[in-house]
Structure 1
Amino acid sequence: MNEVVDCPRCGELYMSNAFREVCPKCSRSEEEMYQKAYTFLRKRENRAATLERIVEISGATEEMIHRWVKKGRLQAAQFPNLGYPCDRCGTIIQKGKMCNSCVDEFENDLKILEREQEFDRARKEQHQQTYHGRRKD
């Protein structure tokens, strides 16, 4: 459901929706910056440009460029110096949500947790043994 919110860039009120994070005026401005960045990067000699150079040429912020790469508007495969921050540690990556080292650490933590749970389960099973005695009739 749409609601009236303040634009995070200019503070103007607008009806929010799933497609825009800013007001229509700022959205147009961002689109112009995107077009400048994309036009600059399309030239073969600029494909390896640094993030700072793209910011300088387009007027966009680093966060905007990261968002464009993350959404796939700028293909990291075509522009090797572009990427976006890992959701966990902030290292620049070109695909996924986390860098390889964070994924490895996460998987190791899961393995440790699984081993601890298996150990606890085995320990509980040992303590729940039932002993049967003979009845005297």
Structure 2
Amino acid sequence: MGELANCPKCNNLFVQTQFRSICDACFKEEEKAYETVYQFLRKRENRQAHLHEVVEGTGVSEGLILKFIRNGRIQLANFPNLGYPCEKCGNPIREDRLCESCKKNIHKQLNQIEQEEKISERNKEKPQQSTYYS
């Protein structure tokens, strides 16, 4: 069952469901924009287009095109030059949410934290030895 919410685009009241987070009017506008982008990309000469070229050619906002890509409505396998920015550094990627260098950096940081935790646990396990001098 849905609940009442305000549309984030037009601020109209609507019943929000798990499938749709915008009102019907804005959803219809998004569908028109999707059709525009899809028709643009279907043309043979536009299949090699970059994201900024698609924005210029269709007039659809970059954020909306990225939403279509992230939701899987535009398959990047068919369009080799399209991509979307990494969520950490902004470099263009074609899959997942992070680029390879950001993934490696995060794994490196996690391994470093694990090593530090192991060292601190080892230090806690060893009883403090005190030296007595006479």
Q: Does TM, scored on the shorter chain, surpass 0.5?
A: yes
Q: How many residues align?
A: 129
Distance, in Å, in 2 between the alignment partners of 1:21 and 1:89 is 27
Q: CA deviation at 1:70?
A: 1.2
1:60 counterpart residue number: 60
Distance, in Å, in 2 between the alignment partners of 1:110 and 1:86 is 19
Unaligned segments of structure 2, at least 5 residues: 130-134
Change (3 A) 1:57 1:12: farther
Verify: 1:91 aligned to 2:101, yes or no: no
Unaligned segments of structure 1, at least 5 residues: 130-137
| Aligned residues of 1:36 and 1:57 also touching (Cα < 8 A) | no
Query: Residue 71 of structure 2 aligns to which amino acid in structure 1?
Result: K
2:126 counterpart residue number: 126
Q: CA deviation at 1:23?
A: 0.9
Distance, in Å, in 2 between the alignment partners of 1:85 and 1:125 is 46
Distance, in Å, in 1 between the alignment partners of 2:18 and 2:56 is 29
Identity among equivalent positions (%) equals 42
2:43 counterpart residue number: 43
1:77 counterpart residue number: 77
Q: Report the secondary structure of 2:110's partner residue.
A: helix
| Aligned residues of 1:37 and 1:58 also touching (Cα < 8 A) | yes
Q: CA deviation at 1:107?
A: 0.3
1:134 counterpart residue number: none
Q: Deviations over 1:50-83 (max 9, x none)?
A: 2223223333211111111111111112112222
Distance, in Å, in 2 between the alignment partners of 1:11 and 1:26 is 10
1:26 counterpart residue number: 26
Q: CA deviation at 1:128?
A: 7.3
Which region of structure 1 is more displaced relative to structure 2, 21-30 or 83-92? 83-92
Q: Report the secondary structure of 1:5's partner residue.
A: strand
Aligned-CA RMSD value: 1.8
Distance, in Å, in 2 between the alignment partners of 1:90 and 1:45 is 27
